[in-house]
């Protein structure tokens, strides 16, 4: 049975990943900051009691990541899905203000640093699996070439930075046979994407799962859209 470790699994894209992978027979280790408040995730776990376990994890807290790493030290993790991310209201306005610096640091902790910390913590569990995949949910808003709208300094910079983190991971983990990529999920109808977004979580995740299934070591270090198209850096 293949195993997926998913961060930010309490809602939106993360919840849909957990739902689809559990339905496909995967063992799912689903992480959320406050599992006791994650009603839909708990209901899903109750539907798949033998294949799904919910873990408390705030990816901005490195001590919690270390604790989870120790508790899962005996696992083989086929897929690490770095999905947890934040997009604060300050970002939506596109206004650059000095009082946003604290929020900017928090954004980097969650959107950028957590990806490297998760990879460092679970590298051995991933390397001994059959799939050996690290997938990080990024965004076209982190593409420097694609930025023709300006604004969103915090979110754009955090996603551009995590793209570089994953690119370096793809090089450093190549000898271990680990595949590391970043995916753009599309403009998705979630709390983050809003009601005017173009596709549903189910459509986005279904597409990304097809991309993930086809990944080989030759794809490591790529930036890929949910429909398989390359995204410019």
Residue 195 has pLDDT above 80, yes or no: no
Number of continuous H segments (helices) and E segments (strands) in the chain:
8, 7
Share of the chain above pLDDT 90, in %: 83
Q: Average pLDDT, whole number, for the chain?
A: 93
In the structure encoding, which two tokens stand for residue 97, read together? 């203000």
Q: What pLDDT does 81 receive? A: 98
Mean pLDDT of 46-71: 98
174-192 pLDDT tens trace = 999 999 999 999 887 666 6
Query: What is the per-residue pLDDT across 105-121, written as a single tens digit (0 to 9) for each?
Result: 999 999 999 999 999 99
Distance CA 37, CA 17 (A): 19
How does residue 101 score in pLDDT terms, banded at 50, 70 and 90?
confident
User: How many Cβ atoms from other residues are within 10 Å of residue 210's Cβ?
Assistant: 12
Helix (H) or strand (E) holding 55: strand 52-56
Judged against a pLDDT cut of 80, whether residue 95 lies above it is answered with no
Question: Does residue 44 contact residue 20 with C-beta atoms inside 8 Å?
Answer: no
What does the DSSP 8-state code read for residue 138? -
Report all structural domains of the chain as residue ranges with CATH numbers, in order of start: 3-225 (3.40.50.720)
| Average pLDDT estimate for 96-102 | 68
Q: Which of 78, 82, 28, 24 is nearest to 55 (CA)?
A: 28
Q: Is the pLDDT of residue 213 over 80?
A: yes
Angle (CA) 108-198-188 rounded to 5° is 30
Q: How far apart are CA 161 and CA 169, in angstroms?
A: 12
Average pLDDT estimate for 216-232: 97
Mean pLDDT for 160-172 is 98
DSSP label at 199?
Answer: B
Q: Is 153 helix (H, G, I), strand (E, B) or coil?
A: helix
The 10s digit of each residue's pLDDT in 78-91 is: 999 999 999 875 54
Tens-digit pLDDT profile for residues 129-152: 999 999 999 999 999 999 999 888
């Amino acid at each position: 049975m293949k195993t997926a470790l998913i961060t930010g699994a309490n809602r939106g894209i993360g919840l849909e990943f957990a739902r689809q992978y559990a339905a496909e027979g995967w063992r799912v280790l689903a992480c959320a900051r406050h599992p006791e408040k994650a009603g839909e995730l708990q209901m899903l776990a109750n539907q798949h009691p033998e294949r799904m376990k919910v873990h408390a994890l705030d990816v901005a807290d490195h001590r919690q990541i270390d604790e989870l790493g120790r508790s899962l030290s005996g696992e083989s993790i086929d897929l690490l899905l770095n999905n947890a991310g934040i997009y604060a209201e300050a970002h939506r306005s596109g206004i650059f203000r000095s009082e946003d610096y604290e929020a900017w640091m928090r954004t980097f902790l969650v959107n950028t640093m957590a990806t490297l910390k998760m990879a460092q913590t679970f590298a051995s569990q991933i390397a001994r699996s059959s799939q050996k995949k690290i997938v990080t949910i990024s965004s076209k808003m982190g593409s420097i070439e694609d930025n023709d709208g300006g604004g969103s300094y915090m979110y754009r910079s955090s996603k551009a930075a995590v793209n570089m983190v994953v690119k370096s991971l793809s090089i450093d983990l190549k000898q271990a046979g680990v595949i590391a990529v970043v995916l753009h999920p599309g403009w998705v109808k979630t709390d983050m994407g809003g009601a005017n977004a173009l596709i549903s979580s189910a459509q986005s995740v279904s597409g990304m799962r097809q991309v993930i299934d086809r990944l080989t070591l030759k794809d490591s270090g790529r930036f890929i859209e949910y429909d398989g198209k390359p995204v410019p850096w």
